A and B are shown apart, each in its own frame.
Chain A
Amino acid sequence: MTWYLFAYVAFWAALFGYLLGLSSRQARLNRRAAELTGRLIARSAGEGDA
C-alpha cells in the first residue's frame, strides 16, 4: 500500500469514527434531555395535584 493510499483510508476511517462518536453522543444527550423533560413534566403535574 502506498503512503497516500494509507493516508486516504486513515483519513476516512478517522472522520467516520469521529462522526459516529459525535452523533452517538448527540443521541445520548437527546435521550437524556427527553428523560429530564419527562421528569419535569411529571413533577409539575404532581405539584398541580397537590
Chain B
Amino acid sequence: MSVYRLGELALWVGLGLALYGAFVGHVGGKRRDPRLIESALRSVFGTAICVAFAYLLLTLGFLNDEFRLAYVADNASRAMPPWYKATAVWGGMEGSMLLWALILAGYSTAAVWIHRRRQPDLAPHAAAVLQTIMAFFLGVMVFSSRPFVMLDFTPPDGLGLNPLLQNRWMAAHPPSLYLGYVGWSVPFAFAMAALVRGRLGADWIVAMRKWALVPFLFLTIGNLMGSHWAYIELGWGGFWGWDPVENSAIMPWFVGAAFVHSIMIQEKRGMLKMWNIGLVTAVFSLTILGTFVTRSGIIESVHAFASTDIGFIFLGFLAVVIGSSIALSWWRSDLLKSENRLESYASRESAFLFNNLLLVGIGFAIWWGTFFPFISEAVTGERISVGPPFFNQVNGPLSIALLLLVGIGPMIAWRKASRRNLQRNFRIPLAVLAVAGVAAVALGLRQWYAVSVVAFGAFVVATVVQELWRGTRARMRSKGVGPGPALLGLIGRNRRRYGGYIVHLGVVLVFAGVAGALFVTERAVRMRPGDQVDVGPFTVLYQGTDVEGGPNYTATVANLTIRDGDGEPRRMRPERRFYPTAQEQVTTEVAIWSRPFEDLYAVLESYQPGSDAVDVTLLVNPMVLWIWIGGGVMVLGMLIALSTPRPGTRRRRATAVPAGRHGSEAIAGGP
C-alpha cells in the first residue's frame, strides 16, 4: 500500500474528530460539563494533527515527484524548481482546500488554547463552531475534491504548474490571503458563541479585537501581493483589473475594515451590537464566497484556474452560516439592543457610523458589480457583465468620502463635539486642505478625483501630524526628552491609537498611487534593432534579442536601453517565456524601471524571428511605487496596533501581582 493513502485516512480521522468536537462542544458548553468541554477542546488539537500530517504528506508527494497522485501529476513536473513544487501544493482546488484546513487548524488551536481560560463560557461553543467549519472543508476533501486520489499507472512526468503562478509573489500570495480569509473564522466563531451563551456585552468583542486585526493584516498583505503579482506578471500595465477573484479578495477587506472600526463603538459606548454581529458574519461569509469564486470557476476570470463542480456545496454552507447567524441574532435580539444612543451628528460615533456605511457600501458595490451577471440573468434572463468603468465610477466618490472621514474620525470628540473641539482640531487641517486643493488646480490637475486625493490626503496627513506633534510636544515637556525619544515613547504608550494613525498615513499614500493611474502614458510600437522611440520623459533604444534558457522554460529577451535626459542609460529586458511541459504555455515577463514618481513598464508582446523585429508596449505609470510603500506603511501601522499589550498586563507587571492563573485572570478582566 502506498504511504500516500495514509493522507486520505488522516482526513477521514480529522473529519470524525471535527464532527465529534462540533457536537460535544455545544453539549459540554451547555451542560457546563468540564470533561465534555475538555474533550471538545482536545478534538481541535487532534484534528489539527491529522490535517498537518495530510498536508505534510502531500508536500512530500510534490517534492518526490509522486505522479501516481493525480493531483501532483496535474500541478507539477520534474523540471520545476523544488521551491515551486512546494508551493504547487496550493496550485489547484484540492491542495487549496487542504491549505485552508491547515490554516484553520492553526488558528483554531491557538484560539482555543488562549481563550479556554480567559473565556471559559465561550470557548467550548467557539470550538464547536470552528470544528463545524473544519468538518465542512474536510468533508469537501473527503467526498469531492480529494487530494490523495491515486492513478492506476505512474505517468513519466506531470503537467506542471500554470506558469503564471511560477512567480515568487504568487507563491506567497495565496498563503497570505488564506491567512486573511481563514482568520475571520475565529471572530465569527466567538460571535456565534456569544450569541449562544447570551454574553453580548463588550467582552467577546474586546477578546476578538486582535483576532480581527490579524486576518485584516494578512488580507492587506495578500491583496498587496496579488496586486503586485498582477502588475509584474500579467503584462497589461495595471495593478487592479476588477477581476472577480480580485474583487472576492478585496470585499472582505472593506467589510473587515468596517468591523475593525465598529468594535471600538461597542467597546466604548455599548452600541452597534447587532451591526457587529452582522459585520463579522458578512466578513466570514465573504471569505467563503471568495474561496468559492476562486475555486469554482463560476465567473470567467484569469484567476479561476480550477473549475470544479462543488459550487452548490459552498453555497449550501454559506446559507447555513448566514441562516444560523440571522436565527441566533433574532433569538437574542433583546440582548443586542444599544446601551446608548447617538447624541450628535458631530461626534466620533457618528463619524464611525458613516465610515462603516461607506466601507460596507464599497463592499456591497463591488459585490453587486461582481455578481451582476448572475443578478441580471436571474431577473431579465440576459447575462450582463459590468467592467472596470462601473467599479471606478461607483467607488470613486465613495472612496473620496471615506478619505475625508479618515481625517475626521480620529480627531472628533466622543458623544458630542463642542465648537471649541472642532476649531482646535480642524482649523489647521482645513487650511491645509484648502491650500493643497488650490495648489493642485494651479499646478494643472483637472480630474476631480486627483484634486480630491491631493486635498483630502493633505487634510488627513495634517490631522495625523498635528496629533503626533501635540503628543510629542507634551511628552517632551513632561519627560524632558528630545523629539525623537518623545515621539517613539508616545507611539509606544498608545500603540493602538498611533498604530491606527500610521495605517491612515499608509492609506493616503495608496490613494496617491491609485490616483496616478489617471495619468498613464502608453505607446505600442514595432521596433527593429537600432530603432529608438520616446515615451514620457524616456527614450527607448532597441538592440536586438537574446534567447536564454531557464530551469523549465526558454525565453526570448528583448534588449532595451533607456535614457532619461542626460542621466546614466539603463538596461531593461522584457521577456516572452515558453514552457514546454505546462501545456506549452507562453507568458510575458515585463521589465520595470521603478522610480519615485513614475515607472517605465515594458512588455514584449511578440517577436518576428526573420527580421529580429519586436512588438513592444511601453507605459509610463505615475506614482505606482507609492502603492507598495503605502501598503508597507499600513502593514507597519497594523503591526504596531497589534503589539498593544493585553489590558491589565502593564499594570500587572507594575504592581508585581504574584504569578498564578487566578491572579492573572482577575486582572486581565477574564470572566
List the interface of chain A (C-beta within 8 A of B).
Answer: 2-4, 7-8, 11-12, 15, 18-19, 22-23, 26-27, 30
Report B-chain residues with C-beta under 8 Å of the C-beta of A30.
Answer: 384-385
Contact of A19 among B368, B382, B387 (CB under 8 A): B368
A22 CA / B354 CA spacing, docked (Å): 23
Q: Are B365 and A19 in contact (CB under 8 A)?
A: yes
Assuming the contacts A15-B361, A23-B384, asked whether A3 and B345 have C-beta atoms less than 8 A apart, the reply is: yes
Q: B295-340: which have CB < 8 Å to A? A: none
Q: B142-177: which have CB < 8 Å to A? A: none
Q: B363-399: which have CB < 8 Å to A? A: 364-365, 368-369, 372, 376, 382, 384-387, 389-390, 393-394
A1 CA / B357 CA spacing, docked (Å): 18
Shortest Cβ gap from A17 to chain B (Å):
12
> Which 8 pairs from chain A and chain B are nearest by CB?
A27-B384, A26-B386, A19-B368, A4-B342, A11-B357, A15-B361, A23-B372, A30-B384
6 further interface pairs, Cβ-Cβ under 8 Å (given A3-B345, A4-B350, A7-B357):
A2-B342, A12-B361, A22-B386, A22-B393, A23-B368, A26-B389
Q: Are A23 and B342 in contact (CB under 8 A)?
A: no
Interface residue? B341 (CB, 8 A): yes
Q: Are B342 and A22 in contact (CB under 8 A)?
A: no
| Number of B interface residues in the complex (CB < 8 A) | 23
A9 CA / B376 CA spacing, docked (Å): 24
Q: Are B394 and A19 in contact (CB under 8 A)?
A: yes
Minimum CB distance partner of A14 in chain B: B361
Report A-chain residues with C-beta under 8 Å of the C-beta of B389.
Answer: 26
Interface residue? B353 (CB, 8 A): yes
Q: B206-243: which have CB < 8 Å to A? A: none
Q: Are A18 and B394 in contact (CB under 8 A)?
A: yes
A22 CA / B382 CA spacing, docked (Å): 16
Report A-chain residues with C-beta under 8 Å of the C-beta of B386.
Answer: 22-23, 26
Minimum CB distance partner of B368 in chain A: A19
A3 CA / B354 CA spacing, docked (Å): 13
Report B-chain residues with C-beta under 8 Å of the C-beta of A7.
Answer: 353-354, 357
Assuming the contacts A2-B341, A3-B345, A27-B376, asked whether A22 and B390 have C-beta atoms less than 8 A apart, the reply is: yes
Report B-chain residues with C-beta under 8 Å of the C-beta of A23.
Answer: 368-369, 372, 376, 384, 386, 390
Shortest Cβ gap from B432 to chain A (Å):
28
A30 CA / B380 CA spacing, docked (Å): 14
A26 CA / B173 CA spacing, docked (Å): 32
Q: Are A11 and B361 in contact (CB under 8 A)?
A: yes
A2 CA / B343 CA spacing, docked (Å): 10
Q: Are B394 and A22 in contact (CB under 8 A)?
A: yes
Contact of A8 among B357, B372, B394 (CB under 8 A): B357
A18 CA / B386 CA spacing, docked (Å): 14
A11 CA / B362 CA spacing, docked (Å): 12
A24 CA / B353 CA spacing, docked (Å): 30
Report A-chain residues with C-beta under 8 Å of the C-beta of B361.
Answer: 11-12, 15
Report A-chain residues with C-beta under 8 Å of the C-beta of B372.
Answer: 23
Minimum CB distance partner of B367 in chain A: A19
A2 CA / B349 CA spacing, docked (Å): 15
A3 CA / B389 CA spacing, docked (Å): 34
Shortest Cβ gap from A8 to chain B (Å):
7
Contact of B353 among A4, A12, A15, A22 (CB under 8 A): A4
A36 CA / B357 CA spacing, docked (Å): 40
A36 CA / B54 CA spacing, docked (Å): 55
Shortest Cβ gap from A10 to chain B (Å):
10
Shortest Cβ gap from B265 to chain A (Å):
12
Report A-chain residues with C-beta under 8 Å of the C-beta of B350.
Answer: 4
A12 CA / B371 CA spacing, docked (Å): 18
| 10 sampled A-B residue pairs with Cβ under 8 A | A3-B345, A4-B350, A7-B353, A8-B357, A19-B368, A22-B386, A22-B390, A23-B368, A23-B372, A23-B386
Report B-chain residues with C-beta under 8 Å of the C-beta of A15.
Answer: 361, 364-365
Report A-chain residues with C-beta under 8 Å of the C-beta of B368.
Answer: 19, 23
Minimum CB distance partner of A8 in chain B: B357
A26 CA / B376 CA spacing, docked (Å): 11
Report B-chain residues with C-beta under 8 Å of the C-beta of A26.
Answer: 384, 386-387, 389-390
Report B-chain residues with C-beta under 8 Å of the C-beta of A12.
Answer: 361
Residue from A8, A19, A30 whose CB has the most chain B CB atoms within 10 Å:
A19
Report B-chain residues with C-beta under 8 Å of the C-beta of A11.
Answer: 357, 361
Minimum CB distance partner of A11 in chain B: B357
Shortest Cβ gap from B300 to chain A (Å):
15
Minimum CB distance partner of B341 in chain A: A2
Minimum CB distance partner of B357 in chain A: A11
Report B-chain residues with C-beta under 8 Å of the C-beta of A22.
Answer: 386, 390, 393-394
Contact of A27 among B353, B354, B382 (CB under 8 A): B382
Shortest Cβ gap from A29 to chain B (Å):
9
A19 CA / B364 CA spacing, docked (Å): 10
A4 CA / B361 CA spacing, docked (Å): 16
A15 CA / B397 CA spacing, docked (Å): 11
A43 CA / B361 CA spacing, docked (Å): 45
Minimum CB distance partner of B275 in chain A: A8
Shortest Cβ gap from A1 to chain B (Å):
13
Report A-chain residues with C-beta under 8 Å of the C-beta of B393.
Answer: 22
A33 CA / B443 CA spacing, docked (Å): 38
Shortest Cβ gap from A39 to chain B (Å):
20
A15 CA / B387 CA spacing, docked (Å): 18
Minimum CB distance partner of B386 in chain A: A26
Report A-chain residues with C-beta under 8 Å of the C-beta of B341.
Answer: 2
Shortest Cβ gap from B244 to chain A (Å):
15
A45 CA / B384 CA spacing, docked (Å): 27
Shortest Cβ gap from A49 to chain B (Å):
31
Shortest Cβ gap from B38 to chain A (Å):
44
A1 CA / B342 CA spacing, docked (Å): 13
A18 CA / B368 CA spacing, docked (Å): 11
Report B-chain residues with C-beta under 8 Å of the C-beta of A3.
Answer: 342, 345
Report B-chain residues with C-beta under 8 Å of the C-beta of A27.
Answer: 376, 382, 384
Report B-chain residues with C-beta under 8 Å of the C-beta of A19.
Answer: 365, 368-369, 394
Q: 0/1 per residue, B421-442, Cβ < 8 Å to A?
A: 0000000000000000000000
Shortest Cβ gap from A32 to chain B (Å):
12
Shortest Cβ gap from B173 to chain A (Å):
29
A3 CA / B394 CA spacing, docked (Å): 25
Q: B485-529: which have CB < 8 Å to A? A: none
Minimum CB distance partner of A27 in chain B: B384
A3 CA / B341 CA spacing, docked (Å): 11
Shortest Cβ gap from B361 to chain A (Å):
5
